[in-house]
Amino acid sequence: MITMKDIVREGHPALRKRGAKVEFPLSDEHKALAKEMLEYLHNSQDDEIAAKYGLRAGVGLAAPQLGKSIQMTALFVPSYYEDEEPYLDEVWINPRIIRESVKRACLREGEGCLSVDRDVPGMVVRAARITVQYYTVDGEKITRKLDGYEAIVVQHEIDHLNGVMFYDHIDKENPLNIPTGVNVLG
């Protein structure tokens, strides 16, 4: 199982490289990695397991964060209500944003990252709505529109696949400034 020791931190070159496209059909190694990445997110959101193994909670984990410079990310965004289906619970291969709104959005509380062991205050201003194109582990090509919290999470994770960190988007001069017209979430 993946634990925090497997997650590379700031300074590791894989976090600043673009991942290579993943070939289909997925190799057994890539299939196993996809499964383990999603399992990490599930474990990290289970209070007991997270406490037992010292896991930091996350809703997204990208392969470069495990030192694997490939275009693969796991997403597990639970629904607001316990009994409902999660918003996202899957692994995306070779995802890319094909359209984004002019409208911007950010999380009121800022963003955290499993590869960043420090609090970096600041508004991470992103597109409010995106259209993403990705492949499932079975090779099915999907095009999908996202908004709200999921759109933020997906942009954070796709950034990882391209060597971008969330704090690259924070305004150095005025980190807590919320530009006019930006949707503040949370």
Ligand X SMILES: CNC(=O)c1cccc(C)c1Nc1nc(N2CCN(c3ccccc3Cl)CC2)nc(N2CSC[C@H]2C(=O)NC)n1
Q: Pick from 106, 113, 123, 158: which binds Ni ion (CB under 5 A)?
A: 113
Nearest to 87 by CA among 43, 137, 33, 147: 147
Binding partner selected for residue 6 from Ni ion, ligand X, none, CB under the kind-specific 5 to 8 Å limit: none
C-beta separation of 111 from 126 below 8 A: no
156 labelled as ligand-binding? yes
Residue 150: how many CB atoms within 10 A of its CB?
Answer: 19
Which two structure tokens, joined as six digits, stand for 92?
Answer: 């995306």
When CB distances are held under 5 to 8 angstroms depending on the partner's kind, the choice from Ni ion, ligand X, none that residue 19 binds is none
The yes or no reply on residue 7 touching Ni ion (CB under 5 A) is no
Query: 114-143: which residues touch ligand X (CB under 6 A)?
Result: 114, 119
The mark string for 61-100 relative to ligand X (x by CB under 6 A, - otherwise) is -----------------x----------------------
- CA torsion sign, 170 to 99 to 179 to 80? negative
Side-by-side strand order, sheet with 183-185: 126-127, 104-107, 183-185
Judged by CB under 6 A, the residue of 55, 88, 113, 146 near ligand X is: 113
Cα separation, 186 vs 174, whole angstroms: 20
Cβ at position 42, least distance to Ni ion in Å: 17
Residue 12 marked ligand-binding: no
* Segment 48 to 67, residues that bind ligand X, using CB under 6 A: 57-60
Q: How far is the CB of 25 from ligand X (least distance, A)?
A: 29
DSSP annotation of 123 reads: -
CA distances from 65 to 12, 93, 127, 130, 183 (A): 9, 15, 23, 23, 28
Name the segment binding ligand X (CB under 6 A); options: 4-12, 93-101, 130-138, 149-157: 149-157
Q: Shortest CA distance to 169 belongs to which of 109, 98, 120, 116?
A: 120
**Is position 29 annotated as part of the catalytic site?**
no
Interacting residue ranges for ligand X, rule: CB under 6 A = 45, 57-60, 78, 107, 109-114, 119, 152-153, 156, 186
Known binding-site positions for Fe cation: 113, 156, 160
Which residues are part of a known binding site? 113, 156, 160
Q: Which residues are catalytic?
A: 157
